[in-house]
Amino acid sequence: MKILQCVPNFSEGRDPNFLRELERVLKQFPVKILDLSMDKDHHRADSTFLGAPDAVEACAMAVTSRAIELIDMRHHKGSHPRMGAVDVVPFIPIRGMTMAEAVAIARRFGRAFADKHQVPVFYYEDACTSEARRNLADIRKGEYEEMPKKLQDPAWKVDAGPQVLNEKSGVTAVGARMPLIAFNVNLHTNDLEVAKKIANAVRHMGGGLRYVKAMGLSLEDKGIVQVSMNLVNYQKTPIHRAVELIKAEAARYGVLVKECELVGMVPIEALEEVVSYYLQIPGFSAKQVIEYHLLPD
């Protein structure tokens, strides 16, 4: 049985009615809803669902189309980088599918979405059409505010849709990738510069861990700061390694870790190394978890 996952991210994190509207749309399709959440500091909502490829693709079009109707980027401000109402739409092959199949679906979806809503679309990660566009951060650089200028650059010819910014809806990135883990570490300080320095030391672009993207954010309602991460390959950079490096870097500034946050879902295999490391059980396997054997083949 082929199983495909989709994790659209939306630029709305403060209106609970928006989340209820997404749920209403998602429930109209034969997919399994794994997560539906929002963050008011990031001003961002995430949805995660999976199922048969055709159902997931149809559901993705419906829920992103509803978001396009509800969000106006001309009034959006938040701490998380963003460039569009529907910021990213990644497709992830989970079972019985190749990455090439996920790429084909992502590109077909991107063309249909761009044509339907007249929104510029770039393909990223495994769906990218050039290595310069593989990294989502490179596509999103400049964010919504700088997109009119970016779209005038011949190097940034869109993969689908119009070559001009849709002022209401912005720009969307559509991709195919392996499961990504959104993992945040909150610090016992309100010094944003400390969080930014730690994030730079941890992320690959700053000379840190190869498969980590990170940035420092302020959580104003909690009076603390956060190192917000995307672990893009948990097999090569496990969760515990990123957490331990943050602890070590934080100690340089006399700062302790307050807590960690897992945003959305995580593959069970990604927890193998966490259990093995912190419980000191070499060779621990997810297959030792009873519930693992309840999963369908």
Report residue 41's pLDDT band, with 50, 70 and 90 as the boundaries.
confident
Range with the poorest average pLDDT among 57-66, 92-101, 258-267, 286-295: 286-295
Can you say whether residue 284 is alpha, beta or left, with left for phi > 0 and alpha for psi between -120 and 50 degrees?
Answer: beta
In the chain, the percentage of residues whose pLDDT exceeds 90 is 87
Asked if pLDDT for residue 181 goes beyond 90, the answer is yes
Burial tier of 14 (Cβ tally within 10 Å: 0-12, 13-18, 19+): middle
Q: Record the tokens describing residue 251, joined without a space.
A: 């100690």
Q: Quick check: helix, strand or coil at residue 252?
A: coil
pLDDT of residue 196: 97
Over residues 178-198, mean pLDDT = 96
pLDDT of residue 296: 67
Of residues 42, 75, 76, 80, which has the active-site annotation? 80
pLDDT of residue 206: 92
Q: How far apart are CA 106 and CA 26, in angstroms?
A: 19
Report residue 292's pLDDT band, with 50, 70 and 90 as the boundaries.
confident
Q: How far apart are CA 181 and CA 178, in angstroms?
A: 10
Q: How far apart are CA 226 and CA 218, in angstroms?
A: 6
Q: Quick check: helix, strand or coil at residue 249?
A: helix
pLDDT of residue 143: 94
Domains, the chain? 3-176 (3.30.990.10), 181-294 (3.30.70.670)
Asked if pLDDT for residue 297 goes beyond 80, the answer is no
Can you say whether residue 207 is alpha, beta or left, with left for phi > 0 and alpha for psi between -120 and 50 degrees?
Answer: left
Mean pLDDT estimate for the chain: 94
CA dist 146 to 79, 96, 103, 151, 170, Å?
A: 16, 40, 28, 9, 10
39 versus 4: the higher-pLDDT residue is 4
Asked if pLDDT for residue 264 goes beyond 90, the answer is no
Residue for token pair 């996952």: 5
Task: Give the tens place of pLDDT for each residue, 157-175.
Answer: 999 999 999 999 999 999 9
Can you say whether residue 35 is alpha, beta or left, with left for phi > 0 and alpha for psi between -120 and 50 degrees?
Answer: beta
Over residues 164-187, mean pLDDT = 96
Return the amino acid letter for 118.
Q
DSSP label at residue 115:
H
pLDDT of residue 128: 97
Q: Record the tokens describing residue 149, joined without a space.
A: 């200028």
Task: Give the tens place of pLDDT for each residue, 75-131.
Answer: 998 888 899 999 999 999 998 999 999 999 999 999 999 999 999 999 999 999 999
- 80 has catalytic annotation: yes
